[in-house]
Amino acid sequence: MLGSTLFVVDENGRLVGSLGLPDIRILHDEEELAVPVEDVCNKFPSILTTEQNPYYDGRNIFLERHGITVLPIINSDGVLVDLFFRYQAFFSDAINSPCGEPKALSVMPYKHYAYSLLSCAKEALALGYDRFSAIEFGVAGGNGLAWLERYAREVERYVGVGIDTYGFDCGEGLAESNDYRDIPYIFCAGDFKMDQEKLQRRLDSSRLVIGDILETLPGFCPVSRVGVVLCDVDYYSSAIPVLEFFADDDTKFMPRVYLYFDDLPTRTVSFSPVGSEFQGESLAIKEFNAKSAQLKISPEATNVSDKLKVAIDGVHANGMKVLHRFSHPDYCKTLVSHRHHGFLNSSLFS
């Protein structure tokens, strides 16, 4: 997920070298595999220092060495303090040119998160909003929230709209369920438990909201209008309060909220699909759409445009939807003007 590269540090956090797949493939037997990683890693990897501008100096390194997908950033003491990815140096290319792009740019973990943020940011800019909120429901180990935060910084830099990120999770993993609508033959009690202390060390600015969402979500007041919601709660019974949150006042939301549902029938776990359209998040969406003429999630079914499938991948693309708030005072406000047309027309759902 990180460009097939591991970075080796000593007990003080100082960078020792890098270890890529080529370094590992030359090791053939158990005796060779048992050697200390320090003895086989590349002792002279390409690096950036905290004194350099990664977007300038990093871009030059990536242009010179096409095989590199990530650079370590070290401070004056040689301590590894951050990573700079190839997609960051070429963010506009990576996000807006999905067809025929170099492999190093297309390898973007949670690319569907980045696309949702970018689409929402473009719309926020056109509507005159200076920032919006993105929420992940179902954080678990935190990989999704960590990438959401990283992509939020890139979108802020690229578009100029601020993004506040939140993560909701009970912290204890899935609860016990015997409700067929929760697909208990796929999901088990205790799955996806969070190590909150470990996760908190990975986050810079995201706010973690820990507890049962039946208790933490009612009355929740985001800093800015909610524009992106990423739902990975697995159970039908957990998806219901997330969707009920959308019935809150229009002032909490953008007129169109970009959504992603992780557990729809297009996904599979081992040999089995994640339920049917009469279970899980699919059923929750169907019931939500039947309740109101003013709030609709589209597309309700899993099929999306071929353009979106090419941009991301078929499985993740099918989970991407938009909540339309027809009663929102800004819903009918024109987005595509002469000034914004070129900027908006790469939006996911245009």
User: In this model, does residue 190 exceed pLDDT 90?
Assistant: no
> Average pLDDT in the 53-82 region?
90
- Give per-residue pLDDT as tens, 291-337: 999 999 999 876 666 667 666 766 688 889 999 999 999 999 988 65
- Give per-residue pLDDT as tens, 226-241: 999 999 999 999 999 9
Position 343 scores a pLDDT of 47
Position 316 scores a pLDDT of 81
Position 107 scores a pLDDT of 65
How far apart, in whole angstroms, are the C-alpha atoms of residue 135 and residue 148? 9
Give the highest mean pLDDT range of 49-63, 125-139, 173-187, 254-268.
125-139
Q: Could you please report the per-residue DSSP string of 285-346?
A: HHHHHHH-SSEEEE-SSS---HHHHHHS-HHHHHTEEEEEETTSTTTTS----TTTHHHHTT
Q: % helix / strand / coil in the chain, to the nearest 5?
A: 35, 20, 45
SS3 at position 24: helix
Where do the domains of the chain lie, and which CATH numbers do they carry?
Answer: 5-89 (3.10.580.10), 97-344 (3.40.50.150)
User: In this model, does residue 222 exceed pLDDT 50?
Assistant: yes
User: In this model, does residue 11 exceed pLDDT 90?
Assistant: yes
CA atoms within 13 A on the CB side of 121: 23
Query: Per-residue confidence at 106, pLDDT binned at 50, 70, 90?
Result: low
Ramachandran angles phi, psi of 345, nearest 5°: -70, -5
Give the highest mean pLDDT range of 181-185, 239-243, 268-272, 333-337.
239-243
Position 97 scores a pLDDT of 59
Q: What is the pTM of this model?
A: 0.83
Query: Per-residue confidence at 257, pLDDT binned at 50, 70, 90?
Result: very high
Position 276 scores a pLDDT of 86
User: In this model, does residue 284 exceed pLDDT 90?
Assistant: yes
Higher pLDDT, 88 or 349: 88
> Average pLDDT in the 81-101 region?
77
Chain centroid, CA 210 distance in Å:
19
Higher pLDDT, 66 or 200: 200
> Average pLDDT in the 61-71 region?
86
Cα torsion 239, 244, 250, 252: sign: negative
- Note if the bond before 273 is cis, omega within 30 degrees: no
Q: Alpha carbon of 302 to those of 139, 211, 235: distances in Å?
A: 23, 30, 18
Contact 87, 105 (CB under 8 A): yes
